[in-house]
Amino acid sequence: MSLIALLLIPTLLGIGTFFMKNDARRRAVLVVGAAAHASLVAATWAFPPAPLLGGWLLLDRLGQLFLTITSALFLAAALYAVGYLRREQRAAHRDFEEGLLFTNAPEATFTACLLFFLAAMTLVTVSQALGLLWIAIEATTLASAPLIYFHRHHRSLEATWKYLLICSVGIALALLGNFFLAVAASTRDGARVPLVLDSLIGAAGSLHVAWLKATLLLLLVGYGTKMGLAPLHTWLPDAHSEAPSVVSALLSGALLNCAFLGILRVQQVCAAAGQARFGQDLFVGFGLLSMAVAAVFIIGQTDFKRLLAYSSVEHMGILILGIGLGGAANFGALLHAVNHSLTKAMLFLVAGNILTVYRSKSAVGVGGIMRVLPASGVLWIAGFFAITGSPPFGPFLSEFTILKAALDQGRGGVACAYLVLLAIIFVGMITVALGMAQGPADDRWRLARPSESLLAIGPPAALAVVVLILGLYVPPAMHTAIEEAAHLLG
């Protein structure tokens, strides 16, 4: 029952908000929907929901972990969005980069798409049937494309077009991968193992190995495009930097994880078929390449939203690298997925606060945040130290777990490359963050005395507190849950 509710609540509320005239009421519905979704998700930890549609929809530990991240981030984003939409309510805006006038997309469309986006991501996490998983992942692309085009100017349009086309093509290849999997699951007498995770894993021994490998390749390229693995990441910096910050937070913190889950699902099947090694070698390569590409673009990056976007490419690389190493690194990667999502979402929300006041995405044009926006400034600095893996924050712990696993497995080369890239990225990111936060504040911003509302500071601050706690102490219940999820990966 609760699975149906999880899917239907955001869908129905989305349809409802699309037709609502009153702005305040629509925003209230958004928050209520997010809160209802989050509380239902919390309840699934106490009362595991029953499978639906003959096992097609089922919440296993892996799905539950990602669903919880998604739901928590969505609640934070929904609260933040209320304040954001209030600020954005003017009829026309002056574009701060090129001075043109532009309008926003209708708020009703925006809110409805946010809720549809949540519904699609929920479907990704509960799908056990790989065909359904594909449908859900494509649905997340379609629901989020209008969100990127909220500010109706040509740069966001360009970003939306790239996002739509590149991700759709990637996901089309993943569809071919699903058909390949169906071939791999066919037996000589014409019967076929159903493409549901349980059955596939149960019958893994009888799968056709060559086709299974081809499946993994296509799904890795297809879902990897969506996940932002280099060199398939080209849409990501544009979409993340042009979308409203609250959308960037969801794209980076929740959407990329959904694509990651798609890759994990096929790896589960491969591992059960005794082919874990084949994918893992590819994963390590993609992981290190993503980190390296991110490092190149982070050094000297002047647009701070693009900086955060490239940092997401880096962290997706770390996640896939962890899965590629396997063993204890599986645990590290899943823990890192939690840490990265919370930290990155928080940073994007803070970036939104900075953008509102400074009206510039260039790190050079922003200075003295600590003086102008004290609360945002503190969160900005803390967030950058957290995301670059400094103690005492959560990402340090998970990145360290992955490093330790690499060393324990005797893969010194991988560990070395990993450390060097992390160090380069640390320097590149911290330089920019400190430059923005410190220094004298231009009188233009200081005299304006911008206020930091509770809705703008509360959600990122809450996320920051969780990231800090996770760095000091991982609750035993959570530890067990992630261990169980990692166990599913073999």
Partner 1 sequence: MGAGVDPALVLLALTSVLLLGSSRLTRGIRIVAFQGILLGGLTVAAHAHELSARVVALALLILALKGAAFPWLLSRVLQRADVRREVEPLVSYIISMMAGTLALAFSFWLSARLPLPSLPISTLAVPVALFTTQVGLFLIVSRRTALMQVLAYLVLENGIYTFGVGVVQGTPMIVELGILLDVFVAVFVMGIAIFHINREFDHIDANQLTLLTDWTG
The residues of the shown chain that bind partner 1, judged by CB under 8 A, are 129, 131-132, 134-135, 138-139, 141-142, 145-146, 149, 152-155, 157-162, 164-165, 168-169, 172, 175-176, 179, 182-184, 186-188, 190, 192, 208, 210-211, 237-238, 241-242, 297, 301-302, 306
What is the C-alpha to C-alpha distance for residues 59 and 65, in angstroms, rounded to an integer?
9
Q: Which is nearer to partner 1, 164 or 282 (CB)?
A: 164
Q: How far is CA 4 from each of CA 53, 131, 291, rounded to the nearest angstrom? A: 10, 19, 38
CB of 157 to partner 1, least distance (A): 6
CB of 468 to partner 1, least distance (A): 32
Q: How far is CA 416 from each of CA 142, 150, 413, 424, rounded to the nearest angstrom? A: 39, 42, 5, 12
The DSSP secondary-structure symbol of 438 reads S
Answer for the pair 136, 127: CB distance below 8 angstroms, yes or no. Answer: yes
What is the C-alpha to C-alpha distance for residues 400 and 201, in angstroms, rounded to an integer?
31
Q: How far is CA 157 from each of CA 70, 152, 238, 359, rounded to the nearest angstrom? A: 26, 7, 10, 19
What is the C-alpha to C-alpha distance for residues 430 and 433, in angstroms, rounded to an integer?
5
Q: Which is nearer to partner 1, 183 or 407 (CB)?
A: 183
Q: Which is nearer to partner 1, 208 or 404 (CB)?
A: 208
Tokens of 87: 């600020």
- Three-state secondary-structure class, residue 391: coil
CB of 387 to partner 1, least distance (A): 19
CB of 16 to partner 1, least distance (A): 19
CB of 164 to partner 1, least distance (A): 6
Q: Which is nearer to partner 1, 61 or 213 (CB)?
A: 213
CB of 304 to partner 1, least distance (A): 13
Helix segments in 186-303, DSSP class H: 197-202, 209-227, 235-242, 245-250, 256-272, 276-298
CB of 93 to partner 1, least distance (A): 15
Q: Which is nearer to partner 1, 107 or 242 (CB)?
A: 242
Q: Which is nearer to partner 1, 192 or 371 (CB)?
A: 192
Which H, E and C letters describe 128-156, residue by residue? CEHHHHHHHHHHHHHHHHHHHCCECCHHH
Nearest to 358, CA basis, from 348, 372, 370: 372
Nearest to 225, CA basis, from 256, 270, 269: 256
CB of 444 to partner 1, least distance (A): 22
Element (H, E) at 71: helix 61-87
Element (H, E) at 93: strand 93-94
Q: Which is nearer to partner 1, 27 or 361 (CB)?
A: 361
What is the C-alpha to C-alpha distance for residues 84 and 88, in angstroms, rounded to an integer?
6
CB of 433 to partner 1, least distance (A): 18
CA atoms within 13 A on the CB side of 327: 13
Q: Which is nearer to partner 1, 131 or 439 (CB)?
A: 131
Q: Which is nearer to partner 1, 48 or 131 (CB)?
A: 131
User: Over the range 323-333, which residues count as b (16 or more CB within 10 Å of their CB) and which as e?
Assistant: bbbbebbbbbb
Q: Which is nearer to partner 1, 365 or 439 (CB)?
A: 365
CB of 176 to partner 1, least distance (A): 5
